[in-house]
A = this chain, B = another copy of it.
Amino acid sequence: MNIFETLESEVRSYCRGWPTTFDKATGSFLYDESGKEYLDFFAGAGSLNYGHNNPLLKRAVIDYMLADGVTHSLDMNTVAKRELLESFEDIVLKPRALDYKVMFPGPAGANAVEAALKLARKVTGRESIINFTNAFHGMTLGALSVTGNSMKRSGAGIPLVHATPMPYDNYFDGQTPDFLFFERLLADSGSGLNEPAAVIVETVQGEGGINAARVEWLRGLAELCQRHGILLIVDDVQMGCGRTGPFFSFEVAGIRPDIVCLSKSIGGYGLPLALTLLKPELDVWEPGEHNGTFRGVNPAFVAATEALKVYWRDDKLEKSTLAKGEQVGRELTGLVESYPDVPMRAKGRGLARGLQFGDARLAGKVCATAFELGLLMETSGPDGEVVKLMPPLTISDDELERGLSVLARSVKGALA
């Protein structure tokens, strides 16, 4: 037994599916300590949209460290933070005519969600939250209470309350009108639904199985929220920062959420960083009412600023992501069509793609085979029935094709 098995808690999981020890990583590749190369269609669960050890970001971070830039600053003002704020305003918010204030809620996506839920409750004076089936928002108690996965929920050890799940887009395969249940419960003063402070939604559910909500559903949701005075929180932790094409995943629907959660790739380099964006009129926080030690990770500020400047001053990355996404989509559709007898389904948007199997074991087999063949992909969905494809956005065409080819071989192998 190695030290991971003897010393680390049983809670560890990725290391079980990928039984090797990784050492180096560049661009779209990871290397284990034996030197074996793995093409990465996982990208740190969306934290490495710009690839591993992206040289431009690495240079910026190392230069900052060499110059003895402040590393850790809580919410003190620093030069690095100012540059991030300025870049975020100039490159992200202004061009999209988005008027948000920026909160640093802590280092991780769950902190962004916790802050969003707190704020929504504080602003509205209501306590109840609407979440969606198969949502994933994090493991801290507030975030977990709006997460769907029953195994993770049971880890709480206390009843998770104050949230009511509503059916996500297409939950009933189109046999009911959108928001039928939600609208009816809201309209009916005898429904027993506690009046919600907010709705929290992912535009594409990553952990939930790469379920991409239609833009008209997202628009309908935003409209419903506005009509009922419910705040709309978009959790863009995994799908933001260009994963689906545009910087924010909700841009495609033309909606303006009241609160937006960002993390994962916002730091660019895989360093922990999270932002909660809020409409100015919602900024009713008392100073220090929400705080935390790791809100000022300046190397992450530096990498984030550099990533914005390199990748978001023009629309090249967005267009390339959309194009590559289309390519992946076509490949997946092709696979589905190649095996007419096997229940499969191609899913997703941008470079968040999934191949869903009727039999969850097949999805697991595909990923295991791919790992053998040097391709990292994880499963998602409530039963692990979806092979999830999330390569770095910076992946080259050759790498992408190579990965898709391994995927095809893995599917073939799994179905053999």
Contacts and interface: CB of A to CB of B under 8 A. Distances in A.
A270 B159 contact: no
Contact of A160 (B30, B77, B194): B194
A152 interface: yes
A149 B192 CA distance: 6
B70 A24 contact: yes
B25 A103 contact: no
A110 B106 contact: yes
In the A-B complex, list the 7 residue pairs whose CB atoms are closest, starting with the nearest: A121-B157, A72-B270, A190-B382, A141-B142, A11-B285, A148-B192, A13-B288
A411 interface: no
B194 A290 contact: no
A53 B73 CA distance: 12
A391 interface: no
A381 B188 CA distance: 10
B9 A383 contact: no
A161 interface: yes
A75 B107 contact: no
A322 interface: no
Interface residues of A, number: 153
Contacts of A18: 76
A302 interface: no
A252 to B, nearest CB: 24
B157 A117 contact: yes
Nearest to A145: B141
Contact of A11 (B52, B82, B288): B288
Interface in A48-84: 48, 52-53, 58, 61-62, 65-79, 81-82
A23 B69 contact: yes
Interface string A101-119: 1111011111100100111
14 contacts: A2-B77, A2-B82, A10-B285, A47-B294, A53-B65, A58-B65, A71-B269, A106-B140, A133-B190, A140-B141, A148-B192, A150-B190, A155-B285, A189-B382
Contacts of A72: 44, 47-48, 52, 269-271
A117 B15 CA distance: 24
A287 B12 contact: yes
A251 B384 CA distance: 43
Interface string A146-181: 111111111111111111110100011001110011
B192 A171 contact: no
Given A114-B139, A156-B118, A175-B176, A25 B71 contact: yes
A249 to B, nearest CB: 17
Contacts of A10: 101, 283-287
Contact of A171 (B48, B184, B297): B184
A151 B16 CA distance: 43
A293 interface: yes
